[in-house]
Amino acid sequence: MNNLIKGEKHDWEMVIGLEIHAQVKSNSKLFSSSSTKFGSSPNSQVSLVDAAMPGMLPVINKYCVEQAVKTGVGLKAKINNYSVFDRKNYFYADLPQGYQISQYKYPIVGEGKVTIDFKDGTSKDIRIVRLHLEQDAGKSLHDQNPSKTYVDLNRSGVALMEIVSEPDIRTPEEAGMYISKIRSILMYLDTCDGNMQEGSLRADVNISVRKPGDEYGTRCEIKNLNSIKFIKQAINYEAKRQIEILESGGSIEQNTMLFNTSTGKTRPMRNKEEAHDYRYFPDPDLLPLEISEEEIGKIKLTIPDLPDELKNKFIETYRLSNYDASVLTAEKQTSDYFNETIDSDLELKNHAKIVVNWITSELFSLLNKNNLDLNNSPVSPKNLAQLIKLISTNEISGKIAKDVLEDMFSSGKTARQIVDEKGLQQVTDQDEIEKVIDEVIAENPKMVEQYFAGKDKLLGFFVGQAMKLTKGKANPKMLNDILKLKLIKKN
Amino acid sequence: MSKLSLKQTLKDLDTKKISIRELNQDYLKRIKEKENLNVFIHFSEENVLKQIDKLEKDDSPKKLKGIPIAIKDLFCTKSMPTTAASKILKNFNPTYESFVTQKLLDEGSIFVGKTNLDEFAMGSATNTSFFGNTINPLSKEDEPLAPGGSSGGSAAAVAADLCLGATGTDTGGSIRQPASFCGVVGIKPTYGLCSRWGIAAFASSLDQAGIFSHNVEDASILLQSIAGFDQRDSTSAKVDIPNYFENLDDDLNGKTVGIPKEYSIDGIPMEISQIWEDAIKILEKKGVKIKNISLPHTKYALPTYYIIAPAEASSNLARYDGVKYGFRSDEIDSLDEMYENTRAQGFGREVKRRILIGTYVLSAGYYDAYYLKAQKVRKLISDDFNKAFKECDFIVTPTAPSAAFPLNEKQNDPIKMYLNDVFTVPASLAGLPGISIPFGEDKNNLPLGIQILGKHFDEQQVFNVATSLERSYE
């Protein structure tokens, strides 16, 4: 694959690394017992610790630590038995302590990797540098009052995992695939809800460009992107900006950039000289975090099948193609739905490919049209299984089944109910089909003549006519077979 | 002035020789008489009377029922404002009670008021308080003396008999040095023995709550009351708290005392060397073996302390920014200006000096040379003690290099002021328990103090030695 982009003068390669901030799925905050519920009224989930009242002290939430370890295992990373919380010092109105508790020198999780799969069947490993735990800040609201800024501390102290990649990414698409894959893994692990709209998953993008084979160029960091679309847009814009500067003889300043989602442009927020000196030092209010191999082992036991393992399992068990299996496992809800469907009828195990198709094409397109997803699908896995069973036992044709599915989708009825009520059972009675074919042949003598004269394609015409007469219910295979026989006989 | 002891008072209350009301009215009267000492930042007679009313209706037995206690104004209290002696918390009323003060309330003690201190406990003379100096009760009329610091208000409250005990905090000597200056007993327990929850932080890895009292027995009763594990403080220790008072044992026969040679420093007044020798002689008479020990990294303790403590303070005090509570400057046109003016106007000189030092030593390019090195030296100092305690059961030294000095002395010389902590800081860095007891006087009849240091969580040994020395001195 050619990953280069054309400038005016040269071809350029992008070098991209991501820092993903994933909110830990946990009922309470990293160092306090306040709730982490999204969308509550401002400052309703703020403890004395979150508000940094004098004399208040952080106490580590064990569950968040376990979630981080779980995530580390899912990223095939090294779990560090010893890690340290540091204070990152800076002033901002929504940072009540005047420092963020984070992990600097000794993160809880070390090197790992994530595999991304391309459509052409190839794949690529993106290396993870580290994962560490840190607190989220609160939120400054500048638009509530013309002369004041309001501060909402509900988010203050919520646990985040910062997942830092090596600069192994070379295209915006890879960046998108990487973050999708991370999101998928976290959701399989149930360590992050993956909700990018609510900010549960966001990324800072480090990007530079170079001529192929050159050393890394100077990078810029684009802050706080909360959708895959924006990430790709921002990368494309930023790469183009850097290339234009370099090709016109300029040099890149190491800046921190903001991305404007309405204009699609990046602009500098601060340069290297203006960068904060965060004065990191170990937080004296907290002891170093020590996790034994035994504890890690216990956490490992709770790890479910992850997308890559599940994909291989699907390929092996159901003989699915690599592509089908990766579509099924890209999102946990899809593989869950598939599993539930196939588990509700033993016979479906032999028709896995049909199940995949019905989920990923027919059901997905209906869900898409209605702005729904599998989690709130009106058609349950059990009902879909029943529909597919009706197809596989030749009770209804595939074509009729599509109508039935639409009906199920809107009415909430089962496939059985609909088929019975509307009399949609396939006609498989030999005599009945023969009767219809005879009728068609009798009514179209000219066509029959032409067919015998060599116009083989007309077979389809006869099939269509016969189907029409049976309202589409005739078993297509039987219809075809009988028709061919009859037309030979005539000869 | 014959001061009642806590121990005696508890007996008198128990036998109804005196009522809770009578007892406290006596103290209230003295507090009002001694207003000129500026011991309290917050005192309200009404509040004290309310507490008496409540206790009179309370039939349940309580260990410290009715005992008047003074609280250093660094402990957050629900019933009284908490200022840390700073303008920046001038009108701060906590909605929560610190671990230590809650324990004292649970035992039925009465809080007579919040005592003065150096702003955010940064100082050695209680002269950096936004609320003015506290005067040492032992001052002669023509020459007001400093009570020491930072817990100068609490030490003075006990010395002037305005309470039967007081809480303090000790980061580098802030209990032991004022105890020595005011002629009272002051104990800083092992780091982690008392929860820091609800104490406005100065330097988190060093701050430790402790007790001032008239004598060692009283200190042993009160320390037991405020000690204990608290899950809200991650550095709080899970150790059993013995009944120090019941276990007091002044028989030291067969024990070994360590005498660190590094504590004989030049320029130390003769009287102080003298009382140190006296103490050693008394111990020897009691059958204690004398062991000369070496704590070779002692000379680095002060510089180490004055890097680590300000570093932590610079970060701990970042929360006082005018956003959420406390003082906010009126002159603000932007967020930056709010920070700058609030903190410029809200903090005093010494606090600002330490924030600047702390910010500097943590800065990129200086971190390794200062903060990181200081942490390494701290470990060496700690190791020195660990080694020494293999050869001895406790260590005896002077508490401070001088007796109480005049109020305005050293005011403009921070380095000289910092030298006050020379004997107390090493044990703070090592997290060891230390007590200061009054022991002798200088040529002006001002009290001097002897410091006893023990192994981690061996407060009992510290109390035993202290009570033994105290009894033989009397």
pLDDT tens digits for range B413-464: 777 788 889 999 999 999 999 999 999 999 999 999 999 999 999 999 999 9
- Quick check: A57 contacting B, CB < 8 Å? yes
Residues B412 and B364 placed together within one structural domain of the fold: no
Residue B190 domain flag: yes
B307-313 average pLDDT score? 98
Residues in chain A within 8 Å Cβ distance of B234: 57-60, 285-287
How many domains, chain B? 2
d(CA B327, nearest CA chain A) in Å? 13
The residue of chain A nearest to residue B84, with distances taken between CA atoms, is A54
The pLDDT assigned to A4 comes to: 87
Q: Are B165 and B220 in contact (CB under 8 A)?
A: no
B196–A57: do the CB atoms touch at under 8 Å? yes
Give the domain-ending residue among A382, A413, A444: A413
A98–B319: do the CB atoms touch at under 8 Å? yes
A421-430 average pLDDT score? 81
Q: Are B191 and B300 in contact (CB under 8 A)?
A: no
The CA distance from B156 to B113, in Å, is 13
The interface pTM score, or ipTM, of the predicted complex is: 0.96
The CA distance from A244 to A410, in Å, is 53
Decide if pLDDT at A1 tops 60.
Answer: no
Using CA atoms, how far residue B247 sits from A97, B312, B411, B461, in Å, is 43, 37, 43, 10
Residues B158 and B68 placed together within one structural domain of the fold: yes
Residues B13 and B146 placed together within one structural domain of the fold: yes
Residues A470 and A340 placed together within one structural domain of the fold: no
Decide if pLDDT at B253 tops 90.
Answer: yes
Residues B89 and B232 placed together within one structural domain of the fold: yes
Residues B208 and B324 placed together within one structural domain of the fold: no
The CATH number that applies at residue B225 is 3.90.1300.10
The residue of chain B nearest to residue A92, with distances taken between CA atoms, is B335
Residues A232 and A199 placed together within one structural domain of the fold: yes
Residue A418 domain flag: no
- C-alpha R_g of chain A: 30
d(CA A139, nearest CA chain B) in Å? 13
Residues A374 and A434 placed together within one structural domain of the fold: no
Hey, what amino acid is at B454? G
Residue B264 annotated to the active site: no
d(CA B370, nearest CA chain A) in Å? 12
d(CA A29, nearest CA chain B) in Å? 14
Residue B410 annotated to the active site: no
The CA distance from B171 to A104, in Å, is 27
Residue B243 domain flag: yes
Residues A464 and A318 placed together within one structural domain of the fold: no
Q: Please name which of B77, B310, B316, B351 lies closest in space to residue A52, comparing C-alpha atoms.
A: B316
Residues in chain A within 8 Å Cβ distance of B89: 54
B234–A87: do the CB atoms touch at under 8 Å? no
How many domains, chain A? 3
Name the residue among A55, A91, A97 with its Cβ closest to that of B98: A55
Residues A226 and A372 placed together within one structural domain of the fold: no
CB neighbour list of residue A102: distance below 8 Å, 6 or more residues apart: A85, A86, A87, A88, A132, A133, A134, A135, A162, A280
Residues A449 and A477 placed together within one structural domain of the fold: yes
Residues B222 and B102 placed together within one structural domain of the fold: yes
Q: Are A381 and A409 in contact (CB under 8 A)?
A: no
Residues B418-440 as b/e (b if ≥16 CB within 10 A, e otherwise) read: bbbbbbbbbbbbbbbbbbbbbbb
The CA distance from A234 to A265, in Å, is 7
Residues A288 and A359 placed together within one structural domain of the fold: no
Element (H, E) at B99: helix B99-106
Residues pairing with B437 in the sheet: B450
B324–A52: do the CB atoms touch at under 8 Å? yes
The CA distance from A453 to A459, in Å, is 12
From the centroid of its chain, how far is CA A110? 24
Residue A425 domain flag: no
The pLDDT assigned to A442 comes to: 87
- Read off the pLDDT band of B474 (50, 70, 90): low
Decide if pLDDT at B329 tops 80.
Answer: yes
Residues B71-99 as b/e (b if ≥16 CB within 10 A, e otherwise) read: bbbbbbbebbbbbbbbbbbbebebebbbb
The pLDDT assigned to A490 comes to: 53
The CA distance from A74 to A82, in Å, is 19
Decide if pLDDT at B261 tops 70.
Answer: yes
Q: What share of chain A is helix, strand, coil (3-state, %, to 5)?
A: 40, 20, 40
Residues in chain B within 8 Å Cβ distance of A57: 196-197, 232-234
Say what percent of chain A tops pLDDT 90. 71
Residue B325 lies in domain:
299-373
Residue A419 domain flag: no
Give the domain-ending residue among B340, B373, B406: B373
Average per-residue pLDDT in chain A?
92
Taking each helix axis from N to C terminus, what angle separates B216-226 and B459-473, rounded to the nearest 10 degrees? 160
Decide if pLDDT at B2 tops 70.
Answer: no
Give the domain-ending residue among A248, A275, A299: A299
Residue B293 domain flag: no
Residues B245 and B326 placed together within one structural domain of the fold: no
Residues in chain B within 8 Å Cβ distance of A287: 234-235
Residues A67 and A139 placed together within one structural domain of the fold: yes
User: Taken in order B201, B202, B204, B209, is the CA torsion positive or negative?
Assistant: negative
The pLDDT assigned to B411 comes to: 66
Residues B333 and B402 placed together within one structural domain of the fold: no
Residues B304 and B433 placed together within one structural domain of the fold: no
For A472, list phi and psi in degrees, rounded to 5. Answer: 80, 5
A202-229 average pLDDT score? 95
Summarize pLDDT for A235-275 with one digit per residue, the tens: 999 999 999 999 999 999 999 999 999 999 999 988 877 77
Residue A192 domain flag: yes
Residues A149 and A288 placed together within one structural domain of the fold: yes
Using CA atoms, how far residue A138 sits from A56, A93, A153, A156, A223, in Å, is 17, 8, 4, 4, 17
Residue B213 annotated to the active site: no
- Quick check: A60 contacting B, CB < 8 Å? yes
Residues in chain A within 8 Å Cβ distance of B367: 279, 281
The CA distance from B429 to B183, in Å, is 25
Residues B230 and B305 placed together within one structural domain of the fold: no
B94–A98: do the CB atoms touch at under 8 Å? no
Residue of B101, B102, B316 to mutate, testing the A interface (most A Cβ within 10 Å of its Cβ): B316
Residues B59 and B159 placed together within one structural domain of the fold: yes
Residue A344 lies in domain:
305-413
Give the domain-ending residue among B341, B373, B405: B373
Residues A353 and A374 placed together within one structural domain of the fold: yes
Residue A154 domain flag: yes
Decide if pLDDT at B303 tops 60.
Answer: yes
Residue A9 domain flag: yes
Residue B238 domain flag: yes
The CATH number that applies at residue A437 is 1.10.10.410
- Quick check: A275 contacting B, CB < 8 Å? no
Instruction: Give the residue carrying structure tokens 């007790």.
Output: B211
Q: Are B117 and B149 in contact (CB under 8 A)?
A: yes
Residue B379 domain flag: no
Summarize pLDDT for A320-336 with one digit per residue, the tens: 988 889 889 999 999 99
Residues B368 and B401 placed together within one structural domain of the fold: no
Give the domain-ending residue among A299, A319, A336: A299
